[in-house]
Amino acid sequence: MNAYGSYSMRLAINAPYSCPRGSELEAFTRETARWLCRIDRNTLVFSPGAVSGIDESNIVLTSEARGTLLPAIGYFNSLMFNNTILPYQLAWHKADVLFCPAAEFPFVDILPMAVMIHGLEPLFNPEGYGLEGDYFKTAIGHLNRHGVRVLVGSKFLRDQLLKNSGVNPSNIDIIAQGLDTLAYRPAPSGPRKDFMARLKISSPYILCVEPGASRETVIAAFNAIKTRIAHTLLIISQDSGRSVSTDRIRYLSGVHPDDMPLIFSYADICVEAATAANILKAMASGTSVIAANTGALPEFVSDAAALFDPADAALLGKLILTALKNRTLKNEMAIKGLRYAQRFSWEKTAEDIYNSCINAYNASYNIKLNK
């Protein structure tokens, strides 16, 4: 038995999203894989390429199934790999348990598994996901198999899953959100001027990252108060390239991940309407946060952020103005957020995942002993 309570368990990770491209899913897979390899040096990572921070002896190279320009071909490649090649390779490498995202969940019953669900959007918006959405929906239907632990990032997502699937509540584990505490922290003021000039960002600024459906609310709130403040609104989004910047509203797309820590840190306020990950990044960077009161976001702010209704631009404008005019309040929010964010790390996330893998493995092992 090892230090985590399993009997010579060999963990395998199906990690097609491990190579850096910038999405939160890729960051999650890459960072948890790194830490899982540190927790257990026998861990195998099935990846289309080398992963920084993981020894090449832990990598099992796979084809780049999602590298094609044709989504249907990428879907077919993933389907074939997950359900034919992967089971063979898992047996060849003598893996005992598999960790994977739901989108890469094998339908064949091969090993105990821990399956990570990051969201249920493919169920609620199937037309936006095509064949990949069909795969996800089928995967959800297979989660009640014996030996499968289902991992989610929030109580909100757990409740959504219970309402929209037949998953046994006792098989669901809530996994802590990860955070790179070395990258995201209050930045020194020295590099600020050159950094802002390089990215052509005007200072001071209010930051909003991937606002999604709340974009118009954020813009309306800013426009209502902009004559009373000196700030620029900086919106960073993958589709910002289609938006036209003005003298007070700046859109950025294609931002390099290495630039994001300073962008978060140098902002006066971060307005977040989409992801818990961005809330924690802003808090860890020492930036005050105003977050939407929808979905799982309220779970991740504690009392360290103000909340707004994504449909209420007037309220959001009032909250932004109050924080900017009341420096004491703004600093208190920043300090609370900084302390709160210190509870999170990729190491803690990986430990939670590893424990779930152990539970899946031990449950299956006990069943086999009792047969």
Enumerate domains of the chain plus CATH numbers: 11-178+346-370 (3.40.50.2000), 192-341 (3.40.50.2000)
- Identify the bridge partners of residue 195 per DSSP, sorted by sequence position: none
Res. 371: pLDDT tops 60: no
pLDDT tens-digit map of 154-191: 999 999 999 998 899 999 999 988 999 899 999 999 99
| Residues listed for the chain | 371
134 — pLDDT class (breaks 50, 70, 90)? confident
Residue 328: CA count within 13 A, CB half-sphere: 0
Which comes out higher in pLDDT, residue 2 or 41? 41
Q: From CA 205, how far away is CA 212, in angstroms rounded?
A: 19
Question: CA-to-CA distance for 48 and 61, rounded, in angstroms?
Answer: 5
Question: Rounded distance, CA 262 to CA 199, Å?
Answer: 11
- DSSP H stretches of helix in the chain: 24-39, 71-80, 86-92, 121-124, 130-141, 155-164, 192-199, 215-225, 260-266, 276-284, 313-325, 327-341, 346-370
> pLDDT per residue over 315-359, tens digit each?
999 999 999 999 999 999 999 999 999 999 999 999 999 999 999
The four Cα atoms 87, 93, 98, 100 give a dihedral, to 10 degrees, of -80
Q: What is the model's pLDDT at position 166?
A: 84
Residue 145: per-residue pLDDT: 77
pLDDT of the residue at 369:
40
pTM, full prediction:
0.89
Alpha-carbon span 288 to 329, nearest angstrom: 9
Band (pLDDT 50/70/90 cuts) for residue 40 is very high
Stretch 51-62: mean pLDDT: 92
Q: How much is the pLDDT for 303?
A: 85
17 pLDDT more than 80: no
Q: What percent of the chain has pLDDT over 90?
A: 60
Residue 294 has pLDDT above 50, yes or no: yes
Say what the pLDDT of residue 242 is. 60
pLDDT of residue 69: 47
Residue 121 in tokens: 């959007």
Mean pLDDT, residues 52-64: 88
Question: What is the per-residue pLDDT for 370?
Answer: 43
Span 81-92, average pLDDT: 91
Q: Residue range 269-288: average pLDDT?
A: 94
| Residue 182, token pair as written in the block | 């070395």
Q: Which of 102-111, 291-300, 324-333 is the least confident region? A: 102-111
- Please report the pLDDT score of residue 300 as a whole number: 84
- According to the model, what pLDDT value does residue 160 have? 94
- 213-265 pLDDT, tens per residue? 899 999 999 999 999 999 999 999 877 556 677 889 999 988 988 999 999 99
CA pair distance 113, 142, nearest whole angstrom: 12
- pLDDT, position 74: 66
CA distance 309 to 294: 8
Contacts of 157 (CB under 8 A, 6+ apart): 117, 119, 120, 296
